[in-house]
Structure 1
Amino acid sequence: MKGQGALWFQGVVVVQARGGAPERFVNRALEGGIALSGIRWTSQGLLQFEVSVSDFFRLRPFLKETGCRIHVKQRKGLPFWLVKAEKRVWFTGGIALFFAIIFMLSSLVWSVEVEGNAKLSDEQILRAAKAEGLYPLQWSFRLQSPDTLSKRLVSSLPGTTWIGVEKKGTKVTIQVVEMTLPDVPELQSPRHLVASADGVVTQIIAEAGKPVVKKNTRVKKGQTLISGLIGNETNARAVVAKGSVRGLVWYEFLVETPLTQRVKVYTGEKKSKWYAVIGSRALQVSGYGSDGYESSETIDRLERFSWRGLELPLGRMKETVLETTLQERTLSQDEAKAVGLMQAKADVIEKAGLDAVVRSEFVLHEKAENGKVYMKVLFEVEQSLIQEVPIVQMQGD
């Protein structure tokens, strides 16, 4: 038999033979060069086989010779499908239109993304890409080859060493590698490093300049820690003092925490809304009307359709609206104290710097009245102590 694909295009009929000598009929047909397949006996005792449409009309002489009659049970293949399609013009046209729209949409560039750029802005790169014919809603077949686009973008964007253009489905990604230039040292005036707050020095490292205090020394705000003047009295020179000095600084905070707090909770009630997504636009298809919630929180989930590994600009989005409410929570005195200390620590770090570390805390005074907990807290914080102060040099006549 010929390949099943070729038979489908020619058309195949399933035939049952009755009366006469069916076995002899099959043998004579095969000897006559007619291709039969799927030959078997049915449960009713009839001989059944498959034959192409062209060979079907060559069976007549063998039927007369063997006294058999045939009955067509099934028709398969393209010719019969076309006959059915002709009777369903609008249905067939709709299917063809659907696939044509899918093909057209998958042939468009729907998004252009830029990665790897730091100095050049996305707008600059996208503007240069548009000048080369690469922009959203452009036909894919009108794009230049990725290598050509890469070379032209490198030449039109100064400060880049390599640009890669990659197309996946309907999305194009522009990967940028910018030139790395050596850092130009900033010109600085001679300076001292002085204490930014009262404290006790725990660490001092001088990279340039002369340290004038030692570890475990108590210093006052504004006191010089690393001097920018080096040398002796007769041969002194001003430099840019550099280094790091850390020390212990004490902060006193008045903390006030209410025993009753209002927190947001979910009630369990929710409403879902579905949207059909085409490109960057969304059309609501279900869940109309107001949700009726006094307060709520919305969660979106977007799903893109794909076809043969290509991401299509079509999809759906589910929007879930969750009802929320505010509930009052009563804290114990210890819980309110812990909440107040946590907030106070956050305020200390914000004030002392992100590299600061709270070494210890002391509750100097604590009381609870009028539904609140009041505390006076002393924090011992290790932080950077340096502050830059320029050296003003007097020049003689």
Structure 2
Amino acid sequence: MQFALKSTESIQKTLTDRMNNITWVGVELKGTTYHLTVVEKNEPEKEEYVSPRHLVAKKKAVIQRLVVDEGLAIVKLNDYVKKGDILVSGNIGAEDKPQLVAAKGVVLAETWYTTEAELPLKSEIDVLTGENKTMYRIGWKDTSIPIWGFWGKDYQRETVEKNTSSFHFLGMELPITFTKQVIHESELGIKTYTKKEAKDVLFKLAREDVLSKVSDDATIKKEKILHERVENGKVKVTIYYQVIEDIAIAQPIVQGD
């Protein structure tokens, strides 16, 4: 009995016609075995549907840069806007024939922040002596039992580092914990600052506070001390910041707007 094998060209055409997700297929016959080489289609991902919307200001600001990917720009460079003002409209049609889209873009604007900070010129701090001990504990619900390292002398003053891990079984978290505690002996020390050193620390703390309130791509354009004074052994400052940030947020378009 003989079997008629299809030609490689026939197999290649059949696979290409029937499989929509490939660009090309190569077929090679070696003995009684076919070897296939497949090149898949590199189709772009379909964009997720976004309902019609405007981009509005999330706070008062002065426009510095406007990049519109979709929609109609309502504001221009150096415009002052208030919270809720439309920056990019999702209505790109005529008044009598509206055409609604999902507005997209970036609206960089100058915003303003004022923050207050204070720091004692002299303060008590814990200074580590270098002595430490490690303790391990097993916990069950609200109960914790030491299993290792609970012997040895107690420190009069100490700083504790704690790391707790939980146990899982078949994807479920069990009410059992394992805790490692590193207990460092410490002594009371005194930290003193000059007025300049205190101001440098306060500048850093205030800057971190402002940046924690804005997006990661925001930048500080200008910072200035408005007030500074020494009162009751503390340096107190009020600092003004000009920040460049994206102020655009989406606002869905309700039919009839």
Query: Is TM > 0.5 for Structure 1 vs Structure 2?
Result: yes
TM-score, normalised by the number of residues in structure 1: 0.42
Instruction: Indicate yes or no: 2:186 matched with 1:342.
Output: no
C-alpha distance after superposition, 1:345-386 (max 9, x if no partner) = 111111122221111101111111101112121101111111
More strand by share: 2
Q: Shift in Å at residue 185 of structure 1?
A: 4.4
Does residue 295 of the first structure (1) align with residue 158 of the second (2)? Answer: yes
Gaps of 5+ in 2: 1-43, 136-146, 164-180
Partner Cα distance (1:392, 1:244) in 2: 22
Indicate whether 1:323 and 2:176 are aligned. Answer: no
**Residue type of the alignment partner of 2:255:** Q
Mapped pair 1:381 → 2:243 = yes
Higher Cα radius of gyration: 1
Match of 1:198 among 47, 53, 60: 60
Q: Is 1:207 equivalent to 2:69 in the alignment? A: yes
Look up the SS of the partner of 1:237 in the other structure: coil
Please list, as runs of the form range in 1=range in 2, the aligned pairs for 1:222-261 lying within 5 A after superposition.
222-261=84-123
Distance, in Å, in 2 between the alignment partners of 1:298 and 1:212 is 55
Please provide the CA RMSD for this pair. Answer: 3.0
Aligned mates of 1:199, 1:246 — CA distance in 2: 9
Summarize the Cα distance change of 1:363–1:290 in structure 2 as closer, same or farther, 3 Å threshold: same
Distance in 1, matches of 2:104 and 2:130, equals 59
Q: How many Å apart are 1:191 and its aligned residue? A: 0.9
Asked if the contact 1:297/1:324 (under 8 Å) is kept, the reply is: no
User: Cα–Cα, structure 1 residues 272 and 379, in superposed 2: closer, same or farther, change >3 Å?
Assistant: closer
Q: Counterparts of 1:299 and 1:394 in 2: how far apart (Å)? A: 58
Residue 189 of structure 1: which of 38, 42, 51 is its match?
A: 51
Match of 1:371 among 233, 238, 241: 233
Residue 97 of structure 1 is matched in structure 2 by: none
Post-superposition CA distance 1:52-109 (Å, at most 9, x none): xxxxxxxxxxxxxxxxxxxxxxxxxxxxxxxxxxxxxxxxxxxxxxxxxxxxxxxxxx
Q: Deviations over 1:104-156 (max 9, x none)?
A: xxxxxxxxxxxxxxxxxxxxxxxxxxxxxxxxxxxxxxxxxxxxxxxxxxxxx
Gap change, CA 1:288 and 1:225, over 3 Å in 2: closer
| Between structures 1 and 2, the one with greater helix share | 1
* Alpha-carbon distance between aligned partners in 2 of 1:202 and 1:263, rounded to the nearest angstrom: 45
CA contact (8 A) 2:158 2:183 kept: no
Stretch moving more, 378-387 or 336-345? 336-345
What is the SS of the residue equivalent to 2:209? Answer: helix
Indicate conservation of the 8 Å contact 1:247/1:384, yes or no. yes
Between the two proteins, the alignment pairs up a number of residues equal to: 188
Cα deviation, residue 322, structure 1: 3.6
CA distance in 2 between counterparts of 1:272 and 1:370 reads 41
Name the counterpart of 1:107: none
In structure 1, the gaps of 5 or more residues are 1-181, 274-282, 301-318
Identity %: 37
1:171-182 equivalence runs, <5 A: none
Give the secondary-structure state (helix, strand or coil) at the position aligned to 1:352: coil
> What CA distance in whole angstroms lies between the structure 2 residues aligned with 1:272 and 1:227?
62
Residues 184-235 of structure 1 show CA distances to partners (whole Å, capped at 9, x for unaligned) of 6444321110111111112211111011112222222211111100022232
Q: Which residue of 1 aligns with 2:125?
A: 263
Higher RCO (CA 8 Å, separation ≥ 6 residues): 2
In 1, Cα distance between equivalents of 2:125 and 2:197: 15
